[in-house]
Amino acid sequence: MKILVTLAWRNLWRSKRRTMITIASVFFAVALAINAQSFQKGSYELMIDNMVRYSTGYLQIQDVLYEEEPSMDNSLLMSDSLLISLKPFMKRINYMVPRIQNFALASAEAATRGAMITGIDPAIERRFNNLPDQVVDGSYLNGSDHAVLVAEGLAGLLKVRTGDTLVLIGQGYQGSMAAGKFPVKGILRLRIPELNNNAVYMPLSAAQDFYAAENRLTSLIIMPADPDDADRLTEELGEAVDSNWYVVRSWKYLLQDLLSLMKFDTAGNMVIIYILYLVIAFGIFGTILSMMIERTSEFAMLLSLGMKRGRLAMVCLLESLFISFTGAIAGAVLALPVVAWYHHHPIPLKGELAEMILQYGFEPVLPFSADPQIFVTQAVIVFVMALIIGFYPVYKIFRMKTVERSSR
């Protein structure tokens, strides 16, 4: 086998220019494919992280009827049985975010607007999404406050400022009347326009009193210690809790629309990558084909002298694999520092594009993913292509008629 490997390697450098051009085509195509996939996956990872941290969390526990009718009547009870069900998983849970979310009418003097009331644990919310950093006027909430934070857009519509009083009217648990006056402790500037125009935050205890929903939540957000464990944790928690009362939803279920858009975008990107792979395939095939044409008489002579067809075919197959992997390894080596640099130093966006991205609550940067699977995938794809193309000279050698070729 060592002799066959040596022969295959030396044969490649008979025509150095042709071999180098073929290796270069593999090299650039693999490097571009790795960078394209790394950029795309990095952007998706950042988008998902933002949506998870500012919206749904990695998984949620809800009442079984809440999805069909999201109202306080279908809020979940933080019962002892639920806490007991969660206890075996606490080592795998980083922290939990209790929330109440429901609509109410917000009024100040003559102005009235619909608002999304969110009851939060101020300390946990600080850890979850850095909500205190969004306060542009006034101060952040304490757990014992009977006050609210109002989003800047809604505050402008209602013409309220820090220190003013906000009147809230809505429907509480089991049809009770929810009404109350709350001083405005601070103004929030939220990046997502929809939230910025209708969000009101208050301490969880105040929200439970307001909606007459003691010890109840609309959702319990769970942040796992290992985000990669989210799917498995969702499945195991779903089996552990009482399915007659509770349901566990993963972020993939809660963000189905976002994932559908990502799949659509991935399909478009894969078309470009497939074109790169096509370039690699034709480059390798062209090299193998020209070598076969040039060396047909040589192969016939070797076979006539007694060289086994299997050994000669193996030499040709090894030549194809050497070209592919030399280019693939070189491409991966080139792509590695580029991916590593932009993974730790994402490309910042500026101007109108950055402002547009900020409006949707995302950081205006273009990060790269350092997932090793991206590099492994390219190696596997190139190996399969080289293996398939390498069977062409194998086929030709086994079909070759030595007498006819020798006579020519």
- Residue whose tokens read 């850890």: 127
More confident residue, 19 or 114: 114
Residue 337 falls inside a structural domain: yes
Boundary residue ending a domain (209, 244, 279): 244
Once rounded to an integer, what is the mean pLDDT over residues 65-71?
Answer: 89
Q: Same structural domain for residues 381 and 308?
A: yes
Percentage of the chain modeled with pLDDT above 70: 96
pLDDT band at 362 (very low <50, low <70, confident <90, very high): low
Q: What pLDDT was estimated at residue 117? A: 94
- 88 and 116 within one domain: yes
What is the per-residue burial (b if ≥16 Cβ within 10 Å, else e) of 165-178? ebbbebbbbeeeeb
pLDDT band at 236 (very low <50, low <70, confident <90, very high): very high
Average pLDDT over residues 98-127: 91
**pLDDT of 318 higher than 70:** yes
Same-domain status, 102 and 186: yes
Q: Higher pLDDT residue, 10 or 340?
A: 340
What would the two tokens of residue 122 be? 């101020």
Give the CA distances from residue 232 to residues 176, 237, 250, 255, 382, in Å, rounded to whole numbers and listed in that order: 39, 9, 10, 17, 32
> Which comes out higher in pLDDT, residue 24 or 248?
248
Query: What's the confidence (pLDDT) of residue 207?
Result: 94
Residue 136 and residue 228 in one domain: yes
Identify the CA nearest to 277 among candidates 45, 12, 36. 36
Domain assignment present for 115: yes
**Does residue 95 sit in helix, strand or coil?**
strand
Radius of gyration of the chain from its Cα atoms, rounded to whole angstroms: 32
Q: Give the range with max mean pLDDT: 48-52, 67-71, 115-119, 265-269.
A: 115-119
Over residues 285-310, the mean pLDDT reads 77
CB atoms within 10 A of CB 144: 10
Q: What is the pLDDT of residues 151-164, one digit of tens each?
A: 999 999 999 999 99
C-alpha separations of 357 from 58, 212, 221, 405 in Å: 22, 39, 25, 67
- pLDDT averaged over every residue in the chain: 84
Asked if residue 274 belongs to a domain, the reply is yes
The answer to whether residue 251 is domain-embedded is no
Q: What is the pLDDT of residue 359?
A: 64
In this predicted structure, which of 250-264, 354-368, 385-399 has the lowest mean pLDDT?
354-368
Q: Are 97 and 128 in contact (CB under 8 A)?
A: yes
165 in the same domain as 215:
yes
Q: Mutual orientation of helices 372-399 and 16-51 as an angle, nearest 10°?
A: 150
Q: CA 351 from chain center: how many Å?
A: 25
Domain contains 9: yes
pLDDT at 85 over 60: yes
Q: Look at residue 106 and tell me if it is in a domain.
A: yes
Is residue 47 assigned to a domain?
A: yes
What share of the chain has pLDDT > 90, as a percent? 34
Given a cut of 90, is residue 136 above it in pLDDT? yes
| Residue partners of 154: CB distance under 8 A and separation at least 6 | 106, 113, 115, 196, 197, 198, 199, 200
Does the pLDDT of residue 375 top 80, yes or no? yes
Q: Helices in 174-295 by DSSP H: which ranges? A: 193-196, 204-210, 230-240, 251-254, 256-294
43 lies in a domain? yes
pLDDT of residue 160: 93
Task: Specify the pLDDT at position 100.
Answer: 94
Check residues 165 and 289 and name the one with the higher pLDDT: 165
Q: Residues 374-393: what's their mean pLDDT?
A: 79
Taking only the tens place, the pLDDT of each residue in 187-233 is 998 877 778 889 999 999 999 999 999 899 999 999 999 888 888 99
Domain identity same for 29 and 115:
no
Q: Are residues 156 and 276 in the same domain?
A: no
**Same domain for 292 and 220?**
no
Instruction: Give yes or no: residues 240 and 104 share one domain.
Output: yes
Q: What pTM does this model have?
A: 0.69
Q: Which domain holds residue 188?
A: 65-244
* Predicted confidence band of residue 12 (pLDDT cuts 50, 70, 90): confident
Number of domains in the chain: 2
pLDDT for res 406: 43
The pLDDT score that the predictor gives to residue 291 is: 73
Answer yes or no: do 234 and 313 share one domain: no
pLDDT for the residue numbered 313: 79
53 DSSP 8-state letter: I
State whether residue 28 is helix, strand or coil. helix
The number of CA neighbours under 13 Å toward the Cβ of 353 is 7
